[in-house]
Structure 1
Amino acid sequence: MARRVFVGFEAVAAMVPTEGGYHAAIAVKGLGAVGAPTFHKVLDGQVFKTATAADEAANAELQRLQGVSADAELVW
């Protein structure tokens, strides 16, 4: 699981279970914030058979990420 810190936010590679496998995702949470992060599915339409494969894909997408907006949206 990879993690990157942006101004006011942290973003973490993640995976979201779905029927038949996993989606690659990036979880975003405010630095020092409490509560659950916001999950953003990446690589729309792709379902990975294993959690490891989804996590690897999410790690690659996290490296491409340019930042996080004030609304906790991903900035490519």
Structure 2
Amino acid sequence: MARKAFEHFEAVSAVIPGEGGYHAAIAVKALGGAGAPSFHKVLEGQTFKTAHAADEAAAKELTRLKDVKEDSDLLW
């Protein structure tokens, strides 16, 4: 799991299990905030055979992430 911190949010690589495999995702949570993170699928349309492969792909996408907006949307 890769992590990237911004001024008000933290983003981490994540995996979403799905039919036929796993999807790469980025989970976002407010720094110091309580509650569940919001998950954003990345590399839409791609499914990975293992959770490890999906997490590696998500970690690579995380390096491209520029910031997180107030509503937790990703800013590329």
- TM-score, normalized by length of structure 1? 0.98
Aligned to 1:26: 26
Aligned to 1:63: 63
Which amino acid is the alignment partner of residue 15 of structure 1?
Answer: V
Quote the Cα distance in structure 2 between the aligned partners of 1:33 and 1:19: 32
Structure 1 ranges of 4+ moved more than 6 A: none
Segments of structure 1 that go 5 or more residues without pairing to the other structure are: none
Computed over aligned residues only, the root mean square deviation of the Cα atoms, in angstroms, reads 0.4
Identical aligned pairs, as a percentage?
67
Aligned residues: 76
Quote the Cα distance in structure 1 between the aligned partners of 2:6 and 2:69: 9
Quote the Cα distance in structure 1 between the aligned partners of 2:24 and 2:48: 8
- TM-score, normalized by length of structure 2? 0.98
Segments of structure 2 that go 5 or more residues without pairing to the other structure are: none
Quote the Cα distance in structure 2 between the aligned partners of 1:6 and 1:13: 14
